Structure 1
Amino acid sequence: MSYANQSQTLNITTEQQYMGLLERVLLSTLIGMPCCVFLFINAIMLFTLRSKAVFCETSRYILLYNLLFADTVMLGLSQLLYILSACRIFPTYPVCGVLTMLASLTNQISSLTLVVMCLERYVAVCYPLRHATIITVRNTAVAIIVVWAFSSLNVLIRVLLLLNFPFDQLQSLQMTDVCSDIAMLLGPMSDIYDKAYTGFVFVSAGVTVTCSYIGVMVAARSASTDKASARKARNTLLLHLIQLGLTLLSTMHGPIIVSLSTTLQRLLILRIKSVLYVFIYILPRSLSSLIYGLRDQTIRPVLMYYLCCGLSHLSKG
């Protein structure tokens, strides 16, 4: 992040003192409640995907578990960072670095897992006879390992770039700004790398999912293709394309806020920032449970059973 952008972000933070206490409490409540609800649903969904052997032995459900795990961790970290920002709690650089790096790791894992899931649906529709030999549990495990390794490599490079920043020249490691991924872009190289990596992932993932969707649409018109299966896969891919777009937009959250800070009033930016947080952080991380929990005939009855049991336990407690 450039030092000019740092000062703009700092100005946004200091303006937060003009937001009334009632408004901050109201915004935090309105945002925190749905976040907690979806964290609960995701936790039940994760438990559901480990409750039966069919979920542990089917590639698409294994990928779904990995996606939900990354989304749940990302959702929890995002809410923690939002609470710190709303309460104007400024952690130290090491603490903020750990939180933002974990958030970046899970965000990338979520995006890349969505791409793999779209490719799995593409193979299932376009190559149904070879699906069982291509999409095996072993190959799925390898794909997940590659996703985690690639995402971890990105975090490692960002950490190495941070090491070049002269922390020893700072009077204190205590931050004077809210903890965010923007605040941790402390040098020009970090800023350049972040933009390059974000652009690469955004374009490559978007092209892959779009091509998969087009391939399924073309296959759906073929006489040899199961029309019902192709239509369901097409709808799933379309939902994943929307989900991926919202997820990838979260990587553009910082630059969007910085750009708006040059033209809009700071208090208005804070409100826009809260709205964007709901639509590009909370919503994408809740779509997976809705897409599969409501549409998948295998998951839905098991999920509803555990969800109703969980709600009954909470009401008794």
Structure 2
Amino acid sequence: MSYANQTQTLNISAEQQYQGLLERVLFSTLIGMPCCVFLLINGIMLFTLRSKAVFRETCRYILLYNLLFSDTVLLALSQLMYILATCRIFPTYPVCGVLTMLNRLTNEISPLTLVVMCLERYVAVCYPLRHATIITVRNTAVAIIVVWAFSSLNVLIRVLLLLNFPFDQLQSLQMTDVCSDIAMLLGPMSYIYDKAYTGFVFVSAGVAVTCTYVGVMVAARSASADKASAHKARKTVLLHLIQLVLTLLSTMHGPIIISLSTILQRLLIVRIKSVLYVFIYILPRCLSSLIYGLRDQTIRPVLMYYLCCRLKLSRLHKG
């Protein structure tokens, strides 16, 4: 009887392991395929924005390139970390620290760049006569440098907080869990700083973009405004506001998972993390290509040319 129970237990355990493996393969396939597709689209968009002088010398396209670059790097890093977690590969703390800090850096670039892009549209609608003197290539480059410097300062502070952790008291630098942002929140000060900085960015960026949207709406109703330009700017800022909300939700990813981990089982937490990864990491990083690639009359024909180039070449070769 004992042998039968032991055999039944082993069969159940093997079946659970098989189901877990099958679930990981299924999730990896469903998440990895769209991620690779949008990495390709973002790569083509980046190449498109460097292919013509009009894109390299127009401020809003320079800002778009910066946004796409950070989103593409973040998407690639997030997918790499997801693959490591799915394959149960546990790196060392230094390796995980480098990955998470690069992830943090590129993650902070997106909301700050979106704020600058919304301010550029606000100036274009509310101060059209001064737009060319305010929004210059030089000023745009300065704004991008400030965005990267501010995000780098945040990463530097996080690194300094990590250095206070007593790593020398650990038996090994090898991690015993998957590499993630949560795993690198070592010590109470890291938790406090993460919450404070996340709240500051969330509130500041949200208020800035909301005020910009309201300002564009007010300007659009004035008699002296260019109605077509103002209407287009209002739709663009609204899309950026939605994109900003989704992007800022990714900064809330860690606190959400930490809160849920206290009341839910680990397997359910893993499934929720996979779903959140799709909606708050992959989706916002794909919206820029879709918004500008499909709506912008200057980018669309060039982007479609590069997207369909191989298809046309293959048809010509067959013909």
TM-score if structure 1 supplies the norm length? 0.92
Percent identical across equivalent pairs?
Answer: 88
1:119 pairs with 2:119: yes
Equivalent in the alignment of 1:9: none
1:275 pairs with 2:275: yes
Equivalent in the alignment of 1:11: none
1:46 pairs with 2:46: yes
Rounded Cα–Cα distance in structure 1 between residues aligned with 2:220 and 2:251: 33
Rounded Cα–Cα distance in structure 2 between residues aligned with 1:159 and 1:26: 35
Q: Is residue 158–residue 190 contact of structure 1 (8 Å, CA) maintained in 2?
A: yes
Deviations 1:265-290 (A, max 9, x none): 33222211111100000000000000
Rounded Cα–Cα distance in structure 1 between residues aligned with 2:273 and 2:314: 32
Rounded Cα–Cα distance in structure 2 between residues aligned with 1:93 and 1:309: 44
Query: Within 5 A, what are the aligned runs for 1:143-182?
Result: 143-182=143-182
For the pair shown, the structure with the greater C-alpha radius of gyration is: 2
Rounded Cα–Cα distance in structure 1 between residues aligned with 2:147 and 2:112: 6
- Equivalent position amino acid for 1:113 in 2: T
Deviations 1:205-260 (A, max 9, x none): 00000000111111111111111111111111111111111111111111111211
- Equivalent position amino acid for 2:103 in 1: A
- Equivalent position amino acid for 1:262 in 2: T
Deviations 1:71-96 (A, max 9, x none): 00000000001111111111000000
Shift of 1:314: 9.4
Deviations 1:92-125 (A, max 9, x none): 0000000000000001111111110010011111
User: 5+ residue gaps in structure 2?
Assistant: 1-15
Call closer, same or farther: CA 1:228–1:184 in 2, change over 3 Å. same
Match of 1:20, SS state, is helix
Query: Within 5 A, what are the aligned runs for 1:197-276?
Result: 197-276=197-276
Match of 2:219, SS state, is helix
Shift of 1:310: 4.7
Q: Is residue 91–residue 174 contact of structure 1 (8 Å, CA) maintained in 2?
A: yes
Rounded Cα–Cα distance in structure 1 between residues aligned with 2:209 and 2:24: 38
Aligned residues: 301
Call closer, same or farther: CA 1:272–1:244 in 2, change over 3 Å. same
Rounded Cα–Cα distance in structure 2 between residues aligned with 1:71 and 1:166: 33
Equivalent in the alignment of 1:21: 21
Call closer, same or farther: CA 1:81–1:306 in 2, change over 3 Å. same
Rounded Cα–Cα distance in structure 2 between residues aligned with 1:205 and 1:198: 11
Call closer, same or farther: CA 1:220–1:19 in 2, change over 3 Å. farther
